[in-house]
Structure 1
Amino acid sequence: MDLEEAFQVVGQFGSYQRRTVAVLVLTQVYMACQSMLIVLVGSTPEYRIDQKDDVPLSQQELVQHVTFTEDMDTIVTEWFLVKNQAYKVSLAGSLFFAGLLIGNMVFGPLSDKIGRRPVYLTGLFFGVVFGYITAVSPSFEVFALSRFLVGLMNGGIGLVCFVLTQEFVGKPYWAMTGTLNSVTFAIGIALVGVLGYFVQPWRSLAMAANTPGVLIFLLSLSLPESPRWLYAQGQTEKAEEVLRFMARRNGSPANSLMLQRVRAAKLGGTDNKDMGVLQLAIHPVLRIRTMVLMYVWYACSLVYYGLTLGSGATSGNRYVNISMSGLVELPAYPICMYFISKQWAGRRKSLSGFLCLAGSACLCTMFISENPGRLVDVTSLALLGKLMVSAAFNIIYVYTAELYPTVIRNAGLGACAMSCRVGGILAPFIPSMRTLHASMPFTVFCLSGLSAGGLGLLLPETLNRPSAETLDDLGSPRHVRVLESIALLYDDDKRKSNHK
């Protein structure tokens, strides 16, 4: 039997898989805490500078002349990151996303080669270690380096964690498990706002935000390797062992479970060299998909994190705004789940539609004055845009996993996540474009959302279609099939002419 038939015997989403997925999606809460930490620990309180002229002050002079009038304990107040030093707060946030970028590039292909489980556990362990270094950093330089290293580890565990939640269950449940990842990340953002309200000193907040990672790591030690990865590597017997173990935990008899014996080389194509990141550029189908997906991921990340990281700077209570920024995502997931499961909408149209709606919401902010007393203000439109782009972000995770075959799925997700992190690196600096013009940040978000929504229509639909396990399952792109048909017709005519 093949893998999908085996999951029907084992249970596509049995009790054991539910517990396993629950542990994996909890990792998203930890990642959300790390992603949003800079919003609170980097908050700039009200301050005044006792200076008669406008001559730029050095770091030592700032310490003598700056007085903070708001009672807050952040990295800004500890290291006086104001005026010409204020860029360091955005820099620390960008370094985290730069770490995510490199982590996606390194750990994605690595997990395709050595396995999902060792990469996930190693990244989670060192992510927690570096997270505690953040809390005890003696200087900004150490703080910034620790944020980069935490991002590096998070880049690996986030990608592998998502893939594992897909590969432990049957394909009909991929959309649901993918959505659970997004839901728990949104809950994590909301919890950061609550945690920041009750834990004020930034070092204590960093310690508290990192501690859930310890519990998640201990729970993850019992996780098995992905049976889909084992099968794709030709380790059929080990894949059968994992599937039988899952079946016993689900209460399903599967002693006679036998998978088709297929060599790893055949799974990857005609040769082992077919497996690798290089195939994303060489393979005619994967090349087009990857180019489009990389831009869509970039736009989703730029708009999502730009609106999220900018939530603390909008009018109103910063803790309420951060929590609302997370909670507003929750309605997006049942909405997008409804649309992507309908034949008339599917993955492709739903993705493009939500991205265009997010861009349109950001466009509308340019015509509304920032007045909290109005029924429709900039903050509410920004939250609407966040809801729409959250739905698109959730779809693109599920959609991308379905567009890539198993043998190169992590490499494909890694390449897309790499462009996603480029958007994340730029996102902390976009809200600061308000100094040029109040509408500049939303102009960037608007153009990004609308352009990505248009490009998304170039992708094929995957709803109710079997997932590809090998590169050969992808077939040929449409223009190649047309050329092949023309060539066959030409050969037939030539043979007929010769026969005559």
Structure 2
Amino acid sequence: MTSHCATTYFLILGPGAVRPFGRKMVYLWCLLQLGNVDTAAAFAPTFLIYCILRFCAGLSVMTIMINSSLSEWTMSQRKSVGIVLILSSYSIGQMFLGGLAFAIRKWYTLQLAVSVPLLVLLFPSRKLVESFWWLIVTNQLEKGVKELRRVAHINGKKNIEETLTIEYVKSTIQKELDAVQTKPSIFHLFHAPKVIMRICCLSFSRFPSAVSFYGLVLNLQHLGSNIFLFQVLFGAITLTASFLSLWTLNYMGRRTNQIFFSFLAGVSILVNTFLPQEMQTLRVVLATLGIGAVSAASTGSALHQIELLHTVFRSTLGGITTVFHRIGAMLAPLLMTLLGYSLRLPWIIYGVITLLAGLVILPLPETRNQPLVNTLQDVENNTKYSRKVKQEDTSTKVTQF
């Protein structure tokens, strides 16, 4: 329920991340909310109040995860590195949490240990750079140029004020400026069949991936009862899978990455389903392989989604795909109720739908080394994808600073 409501909360703030507040403001607000509510949970007098506070804390997590990745500031050739590093931080956090929980056994002390740093994180987060394309959409070109100069200084570019002028930026992104003169509406999406197709494919890909991933994680009873060790191992598996996915994303592309790892995960689950219980070691290896493969496919899916969805509605459309992901997460443990009919039926379902997750990626275009799409027209007319990869486009000219 918390996951579902967190997604609903994200859908409310998704449009707000574009208009009128901006992604940086939404990110800081949700980070403040998460830090305050999580800290208050350490002093909850009853278990009911603790659950309510933790429920409220969970509402802002998804919005923080999405808006913490401002991919517009990343060169096309480096997006995979940035996304993998962000996803790897989650795995490292899981491993750290396992060790921290082992060292701190009092729950309220542990709660404070993981929540107070969120409030401290607010101070450096104020230095984050706002999305350049959001500033363009909201007709704040002067502020957008100022943020571009900040990024240029961070990248070691000196005396950039003489080169990076408002006139230069205007001439570079004139097409995008003309496109945003008409304020975009969410209802415009109903007249964009290619955008709808991409949303459907991404949504039906993330749904089975979530089902198989959480099904494996929640039911890996053969790893033993040591929850601290399980947390560390789980983080180590997903961390390894993320870096493996980085290599395949750069050399195999976004589509091939997801298709390959989805099929690998599906086959691992199905083979594991029909292995006898006596082959315990092989079953553990296949289950671990399945978790790693699903995690690697999810890493590719996260990057592919950012590159497929246009900038103006990226947060909102990302919320739609996240709804399907959370529905899959809620369905995963419910499928285990089918054990009353057959001991293998839930695992067969996990395996089959994971194979299907790879198939629904086929209609999507490959986006490796391609610039981000910024408007509905770019998607519908295949503006960006019709260019050669080596051809320099406006977004590359801007982000080179």
Query: Normalization by structure 1: what TM-score?
Result: 0.69
The structure-2 alpha-carbon separation of the partners of 1:167 and 1:358, relative to structure 1 and needing over 3 Å to count, comes to same
Are 1:394 and 2:299 matched, yes or no?
Answer: yes
State the secondary structure of the residue aligned to 1:112: coil
- Write the mapping of 1:62-461 to structure 2, written as runs, cut at 5 A: 95-113=1-19, 114-162=21-69, 164=70, 166-253=71-158, 254-255=160-161, 256-257=163-164, 258-260=168-170, 262=174, 266-268=178-180, 271-272=182-183, 275-311=184-220, 314-342=223-251, 345-370=252-277, 374-377=280-283, 379-430=284-335, 437-461=342-366
3-state SS, counterpart of residue 376 of structure 1: helix
Q: CA deviation at 1:176?
A: 0.9
User: What is the SS of the residue equivalent to 1:120?
Assistant: helix
CA contact (8 A) 2:76 2:369 kept: no
Q: How many angstroms apart in 1 are the aligned matches of 2:337 and 2:42?
A: 26
Indicate conservation of the 8 Å contact 1:233/1:264, yes or no: no
- Matches for 1:9-88 after TM superposition, within 5 Å: none
Identity, in percent, stands at 26
Q: Which range moves more in the overlay, 391-400 or 416-425?
A: 416-425
Does the aligned pair in 1 maintain the 2:255–2:361 contact within 8 Å?
yes
Question: What root-mean-square deviation, in Å, do the aligned CA atoms of Structure 1 and Structure 2 show?
Answer: 2.5
Distance 1:179 1:116 in 2: 20
**CA shift digits 1:189-241 (9 cap, x unpaired):** 22222122222233333332323312322221222312232123332211110
Matching residue's letter, 1:267? A
d(CA) in 2 for partners of 1:300, 1:279: 29
1:406, distance to aligned residue in structure 2 (A) = 1.4
The answer to whether the Cα contact below 8 Å between 2:27 and 2:67 also exists between their aligned partners in 1 is yes
Gaps of 5+ in 2: 383-401
CA distance in 1, matches of 2:212, 2:116: 29
Q: CA separation in 2, counterparts of 1:442 and 1:202? A: 34
Q: Take 1:308 and 1:211, find their aligned partners in 2: how far apart are those partners?
A: 28
**Mean alpha-carbon deviation: is it higher for 130-139 or for 246-255?**
130-139
8 Å Cα contact 1:104/1:417 also seen in 2: no
Equivalent-residue separation in structure 1 for 2:331 and 2:10 (angstroms): 17
How far has the Cα of 1:178 moved from its partner?
A: 0.8
For residue 17 of structure 2, give the secondary structure of its aligned residue in structure 1.
helix
Partner of 1:485: none
The equivalent residue for 1:82 is: none
Q: Secondary structure at the match of 1:461?
A: coil
CA 1:303–1:188 in 2, change beyond 3 Å: closer, same or farther? farther
Q: Is the 8 A contact 1:347 1:461 kept in 2?
A: yes
How far is 1:138 from its partner? 3.2
CA contact 2:36–2:119 (8 Å) conserved in 1: no
Cα distance in 1 for partners of 2:378, 2:215 equals 38
Q: Which amino acid aligns with 1:260?
A: K
How many residues of Structure 1 are paired with residues of Structure 2 in the alignment? Answer: 374
- Aligned CA distance change for structure 1 residues 195 and 137 (closer, same or farther; 3 Å): same
1:122 match: secondary structure? helix
Paired amino acid for 1:259? V
Q: Distance in 2 between matches of 1:423 and 1:306?
A: 9
Match of 2:398 in 1: none
Instruction: Decide which structure has the larger Cα Rg and report it.
Output: 1
For residue 264 of structure 1, report the CA deviation from its aligned partner.
Answer: 7.4
Shift of 1:328: 0.9
Deviations 1:433-479, CA, capped at 9 Å, x for gaps: 656654344333212211111111121111233322221112348xx
The 3 A distance-change label for structure 1 pair 168 and 375 is same
Q: Which amino acid aligns with 1:107?
A: L
Q: Partner letter of residue 285 of structure 1? A: K
2:151 maps to a residue whose letter is M
Aligned residues of 2:311 and 2:375 also touching (Cα < 8 A): yes
| Alpha carbons 1:107, 1:155 under 8 Å: kept | no
Describe the SS at the equivalent of 1:211. helix
- The alpha-carbon distance between structure 1 residues 132 and 439, as it changes in their structure 2 partners (threshold 3 A), is farther
The answer to whether the 8 A contact 1:190-1:325 is kept is yes
- After the TM superposition, which of the residue ranges 421-430 and 292-301 deviates more from structure 2? 421-430
In 2, distance between residues paired with 1:432 and 1:400?
32
Cα distance change of structure 1 residues 214 and 137 upon mapping to structure 2, 3 Å threshold: same
SS state at 2:215 partner? helix
Query: Secondary structure in 2 aligned to 1:300?
Result: helix
Residue type matched to 2:24 in 1? R
Q: Is the 8 A contact 1:102 1:155 kept in 2?
A: no
Question: Is 2:39–2:115's contact at 8 Å kept on the other side of the alignment?
Answer: yes
Q: How much does 1:292 deviate?
A: 1.0
Looking at structure 2, the residues matched to 204 and 340 of structure 1 have their Cα atoms a distance apart, in angstroms, of 40
Match of 2:41, as an amino acid? T
Deviation at 1:388, TM superposition (A): 0.3
Structure 1 CA distance, aligned partners of 2:344 and 2:373?
44
Q: Deviations over 1:160-212 (max 9, x none)?
A: 112x2x12322221111111111111111222221222222333333323233
CA–CA distance in structure 2, aligned partners of residues 439 and 278 of structure 1: 44
Unaligned residue ranges in structure 1 (runs of 5+): 1-94, 478-500
Q: 2:367, 2:204 → 1: CA distance?
A: 19
